[in-house]
Structure 1
Amino acid sequence: MASVVKINVLTVPTEQREVLEKRFAARAGAVENADGFEWFELLRPLEGTDQYLVYTRWRSEADFEAWMAGSMRGAHGQEGEARKPAATGSTVWSFEVVQTAAPRSTDAAG
């Protein structure tokens, strides 16, 4: 079974960038213990766009769906918090991992 990747594309106005990054920093640990969770990265745009990418990798679609149905709501502070969203738009892209590569290990004694 291939892992799945979910990329949440967040449109974030310049004045909200710091707010978004602080909120993600504050949620550290919220997804890491989810069953089937494999990886998370928050990607800040360098130039030409106002879109952040929230990259998560999951063992399966079912694991992602289970997290969405349960723990994700708490991770995003929706439990009674009435605060303005940092993003003005959001789109989720879904992918299946078909190839991966990692750096080759180097032999220091070599």
Structure 2
Amino acid sequence: MFVSINHLGVPDGRENEISSRFDQVKGHLEKAGGFLRFRLLRPQSEGAKWLVYTEWETAADYDSWKNSPLFGRMHPHHGSPHDAPISASAEVVTYDVVTDCAP
């Protein structure tokens, strides 16, 4: 299993906007090959970063999605103000799952 976590700095006042936009993303991610799970994590501490957590069967599945037209449509970063990035900063960190425990 492969995990990607995007650390987003969300400006004050745009919290509802980021939640709404990521709600729209869920249906698109489900179409990606090897996709397992998506979570948007809101920080409990003021000033902390939001986390966009995705799980994939393999790193190759994640890379295929990142290079797909679907990814491009989900991350326009240009055009109308609605399509502009919400976050003030973003850092993606990827992981291989070494140990996992679930009920």
Query: What is the TM-score of this pair, normalised by structure 1?
Result: 0.83
Shift of 1:47: 1.1
| Aligned partners of 2:26 and 2:38 also within 8 Å | no
Choose which of 67, 70, 87 in structure 2 pairs with 1:69. Answer: 67
| Aligned partners of 1:5 and 1:58 also within 8 Å | yes
| Aligned partners of 1:7 and 1:93 also within 8 Å | yes
Equivalents in 2 of 1:68, 1:8: separation in Å?
Answer: 13
Structure 1 pair 40–89 and aligned structure 2 pair: CA distance change class (3 A): same
Letter of the structure 1 residue corresponding to residue 11 of structure 2: P
Query: What is the TM-score of this pair, normalised by structure 2?
Result: 0.88
The aligned counterpart of 1:39 is: 37
Structure 1 pair 18–72 and aligned structure 2 pair: CA distance change class (3 A): same
Q: Going by fraction, where is helix more abundant, 1 or 2?
A: 2
The runs of 5 or more residues in structure 2 that have no matched partner are none
Which protein has the larger Cα radius of gyration, Structure 1 or Structure 2?
1
Equivalents in 2 of 1:81, 1:41: separation in Å?
Answer: 27
Which structure 1 residue ranges, 4+ long, deviate > 6 Å from structure 2? none
May I ask how many residue pairs the two structures share in their alignment? 100
